[in-house]
Amino acid sequence: MADRAPPAAPWFRTYLWGPQKHDLAYAFGSAEFRRHFRDVLVGERQGRRYAIAMFSLIATIVVALTLALPGFDRSFVLLLPVYFIAFNAAEYLLHRFPMHRRMKGMELVFEHVTVHHNFYADEHYYYESPRDFYAVVLPFHVFLSLSAAICSGALVAYLVAGAGHALFFAWVGYAYYLLYELLHFCYHTNEDNLVRALPFIDRLSRAHRLHHRTSLMTRYNFNITFPIFDRLCGTSYRAREADPT
Ligand SMILES: [Zn+2]
Ligand SMILES: [Zn+2]
């Protein structure tokens, strides 16, 4: 399998839909998959370009929604923690179930295992070059699905409480999505990177690193941002002193 290189993927297919099934027929966490991913699927500059494009896109949406929000509304202050908890629950449930178990109709998000965990498995937890960014930032089709979910929630808020509440719901949704991407991006940076000097990033990154252990990934640390639902559901795992991290 390793001797014959598959044909190079057209750039738009990799950007839009990620690797295809036949690209992923490698042993889990194998050096062959990492090599194939870097050389055939991503290309020299695509990882960095893709990360910049996606961060810019989500940040632009957040800024646009911030500008579009009506003036201060007291109910927004009360709703913010409610929405935050709801998005934290959604992050936990999506990650624990369809992203880690093949579920009918949701096979595309199982790419989290076939790409992200396959590429960043066990001791291979950190970026080694900017092209590795491609295996961290969520694929574009997930952006489209999350946008559809956020817009559906905003539509419900519009029907119940009007345009201001719809914009506020969408603002929290995209701000949470940006937070998820930023934190997850920082977790996979090397330990001597400046962002790792921030104690909460370092602590969260260590917890996420445990989730990247092949033996633990289907059982522990499913929250990517803050481990609220991991604590509530008893799936929080912290390394003991003796554990290598
Ligand atoms: Zn990760
Ligand atoms: Zn995972």
Chain segment 149-206, per-residue pLDDT in tens:
999 999 999 999 999 999 999 999 999 999 999 999 999 999 888 998 899 999 999 9
The CA 87 to ligand 2 mean position distance, Å, reads 17
Dump the DSSP string for 175-228: HHHHHHHHHHHHHTS-TTSGGGGSHHHHHHHHHHHHHTSTTTTTTS---SS--H
Cβ within 8 Å of residue 81, ≥6 positions away: none
Report DSSP state, residue 9: P
Q: How far is residue 236's CA from residue 200's CA, in Å, rounded to a whole number?
A: 16
Residue-wise pLDDT for 6-55, tens only, equals: 555 666 666 677 776 666 777 777 888 888 888 777 766 778 888 999 99
Which helix H or strand E contains 58, and what residues bound it?
helix 46-68
> Which residues 6+ apart lie within 8 Å of 184 measured at CB?
136, 208, 224
- Structure confidence at residue 114 (pLDDT): 85
Summarised one tens digit per residue, pLDDT across range 218-229 is 999 999 999 999
Report how far residue 176's alpha carbon sits from residue 84's, in angstroms, rounded to the nearest whole number.
8
Ligand positioned closest to the Cα atom of 189: 1
What is the whole-number distance in angstroms between the Cα of residue 166 and the centre of ligand 1? 31
Given a cut of 50, whether residue 241 has pLDDT beyond it is no
pLDDT value for 105: 84
Which candidate, 128, 139, 148, 161, places its Cα nearest to that of 38? 128
Burial of 205 (0-12, 13-18, 19+ CB in 10 A): buried
The ligand with the least distance to the CA atom of 222 is 2
- Is residue 236 pLDDT above 70, yes or no? yes
Distance, CA of 150 to chain centre:
16
138 band by pLDDT with thresholds 50, 70 and 90: very high
Q: What is the reported pLDDT for 2?
A: 47
What would the mean pLDDT of 137-154 be, rounded to a whole number? 95
- Residues contacting 38, CB < 8 A, separation 6+: 129, 131, 132
- The Å distance, Cα 184 to ligand 1 centre, comes to 6
154 CA distance to ligand 1 centroid (A)? 28
C-alpha to C-alpha distances, 38 to 43, 182, 213, nearest whole angstrom: 6, 22, 21
Cβ count within 10 A of residue 45 = 10
Is 60 exceeded by the pLDDT of residue 243? Answer: no
CA of 240 to the centre of ligand 1 (A): 20
Record the pTM.
Answer: 0.90
Q: Residue 114: nearest ligand to its CA? A: 2
Most confidently modeled of 102-111, 128-137, 179-188? Answer: 179-188
How far does the centroid of ligand 1 lie from the alpha carbon of residue 165, in Å?
A: 33
Express each pLDDT in 44-99 by its tens digit.
Answer: 677 888 899 999 999 999 999 999 998 778 899 999 999 999 999 999 999 999 99
Residue pointed to by tokens 């001791």: 123
Whole-angstrom distance, CA of residue 64 vs CA of residue 56: 12
Nearest-angstrom CA–CA distance, 80 and 4: 53
Higher per-residue confidence, 54 vs 105: 54
User: Distance from the CA of 116 to the center of ligand 1, in angstroms?
Assistant: 7
The residue that leads in pLDDT, 214 or 10, is 214
Could you state, in order of their start, the residue ranges of all structural domains in the chain? Answer: 25-233
